[in-house]
Structure 1
């Protein structure tokens, strides 16, 4: 039977949660160690295989696996030849180095540190790239983790310059950062864009320039106003035709329909508003994050293992493809949210159940399999027939970030789990 998770908890629950943050000496953490060790093995295997492939350009960032049509045009080869490798300007380019940084942080493996720096530095040119709203994914996951864990000269300026490039896409009259430059929309903004505000907050703290916070908050405020429905589900795309006259259009691009709930979009929003509250301490963002969390946690379309179908309204549930990436993003966000409130045990417990399920054989790869990726069963864009029931590098990244946050909350010393290899 599905559990119901009330939004507000009592003081007793808070005390229980606080007392259980310390690692228990009798707690079985084998699932955690196996998940991180699997990540270490898979990431190193992939990096070594890419090196051996001796690629002559910058298409070295593993994103997913190739579709059957693309594979049909390739000569038979080993497993690395079936990986979808992208160049720096692909929106997912930051996740591979980011995953290596996170795994290095949890294991102390210097080989991963070296590889993470190598792939991070390949993204330096993006700091001046104004052709995408996804600079947060691309730079914050790579250079953001590099700056946090092993900073080198110039890292902070890459982050600051990338943030400046991102705010060049902000329209003061519409009050939002433009997402896409393709299609027939007037001024499209997708819920994913909430994730890129983290880059602006980082630059704001580095420079003490309030413009980064101001733009982030205006974008978040308008997203709250125009993306969300009364039940706190969100649409994927809002076309800001003329917001001054309240002329907007709510649509989808990767979801089932304009009125449905695309699972990863719901997770993006939860994560983004949680981060907005963490950085601004403005309670309206906390309220938004908690309401989004309640929608997810109490939704009858969520399966028993808490890994959602690609869309909450997919017509073929329970046979619809799952999206492990949405589950990983949700878990990471809920762990963070649990630390920002006095009654966060419900969020922690839900996120813990997600990552334990993602760490099971149903979703976690066997070492040496899954084309080097960590998680199985994600969905990229179902309506476009793209990346369905495959591994995705951003599922891996947010899974690892969720594991890291879990260890921090539980005060688990990684030195008790791992030795350097």
Structure 2
């Protein structure tokens, strides 16, 4: 979620820059960031002044659908604004980021409804504190880390993802890996050290139980509440219980890369490599933008998921910085760069709507947010651009 500054690898700069030429044209990162700023400015013009934020633009529409602070995606829009402030140093973006971040303040005084507090709060208040050192932001992040920790079940060893959904046991979804960053950060910035232990235990339990022998991820894992025993893996948003849902594998790659960053435990780095390997090996699309599920039955006539590509491109950029094998490091950089170029050249929304990207897929089995613009696709796309810019 939060951008980290990576060590410069002089030997890799040539590899990265080689990828900036496509169809004979130089890929201009700053031009893409300027495009995102232009689109975000258009979005600001249409947001109602009622505490809501933009979530999605349905296929065939040019109008955003807005959500309040309780929505799991509510942190992505303020996170985008903080990234634009980081990229431009323009006080306009700081002002708007602060405004939309503060709309999420009520999350600090209510019980945890689900695991998504990391997405909601670390992307908004967390990015805000990183860039401004505003103590009010820090206090809220620390409070909400404690709130998230209340969903941890020590008998199972994971944070329960959806207390409101009954799957016949304690449920944990792969998306939850992303929210561990909130706990790691809090434990290192004034919060309880127990938060660190919870995050590590959740990652270890997930690593042990949440994956098939080929390192593809289940979406949902069900555990026995009392014994902690694994009951079964299943899907919620993928094609089937045994299919590889694209965004789920993306969350896993990003999540375990982040866990290695926070722990420096080599077992998490090794696992992140395995997760990335199966994703890249199974990715057959020429432009490296996956179908919404790698096992969807009607490929190539299935929707793509630009959000999964954005998440993976950003994750691979970070993973490359921890990779000693030069050939593998180069592959991660080349593939992640190609994903970002592809998103920029063929998936930008431009004049269709004021989002950054088209062709993301949210929850196809439910018929929800199919082939549309979604705020989390935009967030990770902009993050990937900023990470590429730092490497360059």
Calculate the TM-score normalised by the size of structure 2: 0.91
Question: Shift in Å at residue 108 of structure 1?
Answer: 2.2
Structure-2 residue corresponding to 1:147? 129
CA contact (8 A) 2:152 2:198 kept: yes
Question: Do residues 135 (structure 1) and 120 (structure 2) align?
Answer: no
- Within 1, Cα distance between the matches of 2:320 and 2:240? 32
What is the alpha-carbon distance in structure 2 between the residues aligned to residue 245 and residue 353 of structure 1?
Answer: 42
> 1:11 maps to which residue?
none
State yes or no: 1:356 paired with 2:341.
yes
Query: Secondary structure of 1:49's partner?
Result: coil
TM-score under structure 1 length normalisation: 0.85
Q: 1:48: Cα distance to partner?
A: 2.1
8 Å contact kept, 1:45–1:372: yes
Residue 35 (str. 1) matches residue 27 (str. 2) = no
In the other structure, the counterpart of 1:286 is 269
> Which residue of the partner structure matches residue 222 of structure 1?
205
Kindly indicate whether the alpha-carbon contact (under 8 Å) linking 1:32 and 1:359 is maintained by their aligned counterparts in 2: no
Q: Residues 237 and 31 from structure 1, CA distance in 2 versus in 1: closer, same or farther, beyond 3 angstroms?
A: same
Indicate the SS of the match to 1:350: helix
In the alignment, is the contact (CA less than 8 A) between 1:63 and 1:86 conserved in 2?
yes
Q: Could you say what the CA RMSD is over the residues aligned between the two structures, in angstroms?
A: 2.3
The aligned counterpart of 2:300 is 318
Secondary structure in 1 matching 2:319: helix
How far apart in 1 are the matches of 2:265 and 2:191?
18
1:405 maps onto 2:387 in alignment: yes
| Alignment-derived partner of residue 419 in structure 1 | none
Provide the aligned length of Structure 1 versus Structure 2.
377
Instruction: Give how far 1:350 is off.
Output: 0.9
Of residues 287, 296, 309, the one that matches 1:305 is 287
Choose the corresponding residue for 1:115, options 72, 89, 96.
96
Q: How does 1:231-380 map to 2 (within 5 A)?
A: 231-241=214-224, 244=227, 246-299=229-282, 301-343=283-325, 344-360=329-345, 362-366=346-350, 369-380=351-362
Aligned residue in 1 for 2:6:
none
Written as runs of structure 1 = structure 2, the 5 A alignment for 1:55-70 is 55=49, 57-58=50-51, 60-66=52-58
How far apart are the structure 1 equivalents of 2:316 and 2:304?
Answer: 19
C-alpha separation between the residues in 2 aligned to 1:283 and 1:370?
45
The 1-side partners of 2:18 and 2:370 are apart by: 37
4+ long deviations beyond 3 Å: 18-31, 242-247
After superposition, what is the alpha-carbon deviation per residue over 1:22-80, rounded to whole angstroms, capped at 9, x for unaligned? 99999965532231111101111111221xx4x4x32x210002578xx9xxxxxxx5x
d(CA) in 2 for partners of 1:24, 1:91 = 35
Equivalence for 1:17? 12
Higher-Rg structure is: 1
Does the 8 Å contact 1:302/1:312 carry over to 2?
no
Mapped to 2, the partners of 1:25 and 1:298 lie a distance apart of: 23
Which secondary structure does the structure 2 equivalent of 1:207 belong to?
coil
Alignment of 1:64-213 (within 5 A): 64-66=56-58, 79=62, 82-129=63-110, 130-185=112-167, 186-207=169-190, 209-213=192-196
Matched with 2:369 is 387
Instruction: Name which of structure 1's ranges 175-184 and 156-165 shifts more when overlaid on structure 2.
Output: 175-184
**Residue 370 of structure 1 contacts residue 391 of structure 1 at CA under 8 Å; is this kept in 2?**
no
**Does structure 2 conserve the Cα–Cα contact (< 8 Å) formed by 1:296 and 1:302?**
no
Structure 1 residue runs without a partner (length 5+): 1-13, 72-78, 411-421
| Contact residue 257 and residue 319 of structure 2 kept, 8 A | yes
